[in-house]
Structure 1
Amino acid sequence: MNARHWIAGEWTGRPTLDSIDPATGEAIGQYADGGAHEADAAIAAARHVFDRTTWAQDARLRQDVLLAWAAALDHERESLATLLTRENGKTIAQSRGEIAGAISEVRYYAGLARHIAGHVLEPEPGTISTMLREAAGVVAIIVPWNAPAVLLVRSLAPALAAGCTAIVKPAAQTSLVTAAMMRCFELTALPKGAVNLVNERGYAASERLADSHGVDVLSFTGSTATGKKIMVAAADSIKKLSLELGGKSCCVVFGDADIDAIAPRLARAATIISGQQCTAARRVLVHASRAADMREKLASALASLKVGPGIDPATDIGALIDAATRDSVEHTIERACATADRLLLRGAPSGHAFLSPTLVEHADPKAFFCQDEIFGPFVTLEVFENEQEAILKANDTVFGLSASVWTNDGPRAFRMARALRNGTVWINDHNKLFAEAETGGYRQSGLGRLHGYDALADFTELKHICMPAGVADGIAPLR
């Protein structure tokens, strides 16, 4: 299992760096280490296809390519899921769900490829204004390691459907699974160079993609801090940016909620991908009348989750992405436990990169561990007295990616969803994601939207073509 660069339809570079199974610490394959040179070659290849071929105008070809890619991925779905678990550490059930979701999303955008509609107006007699959505150009996609299959697809599929060409830069930790997905393109009619892959351990290739004037759009999923650096690097070229950044998802639980039923669901929502998902439940706000129940039930639900190798079907929480990350997260959690008002459950590190869940209670939402995105199995519990206090506490954050409201009162659920400053608000659910439904955040959670029809806007430009056609003979103007 090796990952080379894929540039202009050719596999290049010598794999020399180990990809590590975070559950065992063992190498499962190697990937090639690229940089600015490989990024430049990939940009040139993508530019050639976009500028010198009819790829951007051939919607039927693009649809055929996406459908064939989905079929090839589907044929390899179990091997891809197994590789994803071995390289990322998440549970095999989550990997299977992710690969299935990625395939579904490719098919969704294949369906949209032939219907990227504009509109026509006649703003004054005889003047025809045509509004067209055109492909924005060459897209650079920087993919994170936490959900590398679906987070690749949710940018690449709409980009290709719109008529763009692309350079994919995967996270080093999950280079193998990304390369395996790229290899499935070889069973399609994709033009050589329409999609390219550059691997790297460092940041030189990513920096070149961000500052290059040959890249028209950059789509990045990752931390807010890195997103800000990308914005600075992209400023000189003023390229379009599609950024999904950090989150601190809040779950607001009212007094009429069934705590016995909800607590296990919140525990799983908090520990999805070992807590390494931007929409994971990180803050639980519970009405004071149910605080005691939530303390007991949520701590018990978190403690009951089985931590172990993701390849074991009985595992609930797999390894974090690597040992260094686990140690960093554990150090941050130790600081939080030292200052929190109440420690309800203390997790512990084990094995190569495992970490069991921690739950703390705290009154002040401005504490660092209530504000910062701690990318691991760590949950805070906060108490509120009324709707107004719940809204103030939930919105007291720089993020605005997602939240959830738990109540049997329908009008309350809706007015709370409207009041929360988040791009997605679930009612009596959490982490429910669809190819058809847009996701993205307010404030420092990012720019643009991915998934759904509106994702096409991140990869298209709106062009106005104005033609003075005149009016037919015998038609008299009114003024």
Structure 2
Amino acid sequence: MQTAENYIAGQWVKGYDAHRRGDSIDPATGEVAAHFVDATLTEVDAAMASARAAFERTTWAQQAKLHSDVLRLFADRLEQNKAQVVQTLVQLNGKLQREAEGEVMAGISELRYYAGLARNLFGRVIEMEPNVYSHIEREAIGVAAIIVPWNAPVTLLVRSLAPALAAGCTVVIKAAHQTALVHAQVMACLVVDERIPAGVINSFVEQGSEATQHLCAHPEVDVISFTGSTHVGKQIALSTAKNLTRLSLELGGKAPAIVRSDAHLEAAVRGIVGGACVMAGQMCTAISRVLVHESVAADFSQQLTQALAQVKVGPGKLPTSAMGPLIDQRNQARLLEEVRAAATDCRVLLAGHVPDDTPRGGAFITPSLVATQDLSSHFVQDEIFGPMITLETFTSDEEAVQRANATRYGLAASVWTADYRAARQITRRVKFGNVWVNAHNRLFAEIETGGYRQSGFGRLHGVEGLNDFMETKHVFMPCNDA
């Protein structure tokens, strides 16, 4: 059984103390599938010292061509090892084979995109007066801390790591212990490049939070890129306040799908089921609220209930599975309790349960659908992070927009309609960083994503994805002879 190790100062750090070994569990079986070395504050301090030294004492930050080539070859090696990474991702995360393949391919695409951008980071110059110049220069911010969650450990790593390296930063990565071996396999495709100075890349795994808290409060961290819950994002913001560390946060979501009366209902149902059940609903952009016009609500509700009831839940490695397990049995128990609680607050149209034909010990649960008009309900306001959807009705586009905006989140939404003029008006008024029309969860390396309000700030992907990892410097230069 393989063990994921920490990578610090150009070396894989083996853990010889058995008490510092942790287990990664296969959520489809509940059995141990891999081990990891649990990092301590010592590893974090060593990683930070190494990253700072590499940034200050090497020419890494000034080598744009090298950044580009490193990312390009990283993508090539990841593609060559795709089958192994996909297999491990399915085993440790539980997602479907096709979801895992899509995630790895998205990571490869992202690496190649930023490999191109790395050689196109230009400043600008203006002659303010005769022979008096102002140079606007773009340079790497310094040491970037990247905190990666378990739900998409390849793409959520790469979408921060690629722009950080393209900008010329050095990095310290905190990987999720649930998917530590996936992370190690991806990192192995990068650090094999001997041209990267020791200390540019560092990563560690931790099961608890002490080392991560130490990383976030560390005075040598220049920027933190974090993907995770709003609750943890707020804790990170508090811990960084004394250092004024720059933050890039993609946090929780409560994504609504607005279904107008003119929508193609069958197509909307198919798209919404896919958008809600992706990664078993364990995705911050997954659909968790459906707002449907009251004139078609009865028909739509029936179709959606039937479609969700037919979702085949099973191990991700089986081609017959349409949705995999939750990440662990603790979250399975939490979702089952949410279903029981919904019976007192909402009208339960479809109650999620543990299917009889799934492996014993697995963290499986079927989708749930509950109806409510109470905007203050926990099921409308709070991120459940699982395959549980609320169904609400509206009477006008105005009410649909008001209901969609009636949470503290603003990450993702979708609009389902045949009227593109109406869609444009709705997309303009909803307060979400990502809005799709007649689709959901369409993400691209070239297109920025991010949240409004308590879904975070900063942008990932695209040209703007570089901004959090770069500083803008003004250099005034008079060139008179005198």
Instruction: Please indicate the TM-score interval, normalised by the length of the shorter structure.
Output: over 0.9
Q: Are 1:122 and 2:123 an aligned pair?
A: no
Within the candidate set 412, 416, 425, 2:435 is matched to: 425
Q: What residue in structure 2 maps to residue 460 of structure 1?
A: 470
Query: Does the alignment pair 1:56 with 2:56?
Result: no
In the TM superposition, what are the counterparts of 1:64-213 in structure 2 within 5 Å? Answer: 64-188=69-193, 189-213=195-219
2: distance between equivalents of 1:392 and 1:172? Answer: 40
Distance 1:293 1:6, change over 3 A: same
Q: Which residue of 2 aligns with 1:5?
A: 6
Amino acid at match of 1:212: H
The 1-side partners of 2:397 and 2:172 are apart by 46
- Which of residues 288, 303, 325 in structure 1 aligns to 2:294? 288
State the secondary structure of the residue aligned to 1:24: coil
Matched, 1:348 2:317: no
User: 2:383 aligns to what?
Assistant: 373
Q: Is the 8 A contact 2:86 2:104 kept in 1?
A: yes
Q: Deviations over 1:323-350 (max 9, x none)?
A: 111111221232123210x211111024
Q: Deviations over 1:409-465 (max 9, x none)?
A: 111111100000000110110000001111100000001000111010010011111
8 A Cα contact 2:339 2:351, kept in partner: no
Give 1:125 shift: 4.0
**Deviation (angstroms), 1:313:** 1.6
Cα deviation for residue 468 of structure 1 reads 2.0
Answer whether contact 2:58 2:197 (CA < 8 A) is retained: no
- Residue 228 of structure 2 aligns to which amino acid in structure 1? G
* Paired amino acid for 2:154: A
- The aligned amino acid for 2:5 is R
Aligned-pair CA distance for 1:320: 0.4
CA distance in 2, matches of 1:416, 1:386: 11
SS at match of 1:115: coil
What amino acid does structure 1 have at the position aligned with 2:427? A
- 1:410 paired with 2:423, answer no
Aligned match for 1:251, one of 231, 252, 257: 257
Normalised to the residue count of structure 1, the TM-score between the two structures is 0.96
Deviation at 1:124, TM superposition (A): 3.8
Which stretch shows the higher mean deviation, 190-199 or 449-458? 190-199
For residues 90-126 of structure 1, give each alpha carbon's deviation from its aligned partner in whole angstroms, at most 9, with x where no partner exists. 1111000000000110111001001112222233444
* Aligned-pair CA distance for 1:400: 0.4
Q: SS state of the match for residue 242, structure 2?
A: coil
In percent, how many aligned pairs have the same letter?
48
Give per-residue Cα distances to partners, 1:181-236, cap 9 Å, x unaligned: 11112332322211111111111221111000111111100000000000011111
Q: Note if contact 2:224-2:245 (Cα within 8 Å) is conserved in structure 1.
A: yes
> How many equivalent pairs are there?
471
- How far 1:29 moved relative to its partner? 1.3
Matched residue, 1:450: 460
CA contact (8 A) 1:407 1:428 kept: yes
Distance 2:354 2:471 in 1: 48
- The amino acid that maps onto 2:7 is W
In the alignment, the residues of structure 1 paired with residue 120 and residue 288 of structure 2 have an alpha-carbon distance, to the nearest angstrom, of 39
One of 336, 339, 343 as aligned partner of 1:333: 339
* SS state at 2:154 partner: helix
Q: CA RMSD in A?
A: 1.3
**Larger deviation, residues 234-243 vs 150-159:** 234-243
Instruction: Specify every segment of 5 or more residues in structure 2 that has no aligned partner in the other structure, as ranges.
Output: none
- Gaps of at least 5 residues in structure 1 are 474-479
TM-score of the superposed pair, with normalisation by structure 2: 0.96
**Which residue does the alignment assign to 1:477?**
none
Corresponding letter in the other structure for 1:66: L
The 2-side partners of 1:123 and 1:408 are apart by 53
Q: Distance in 2 between matches of 1:52 and 1:83?
A: 37
Contact 1:68 1:187 in 2 (8 A): no
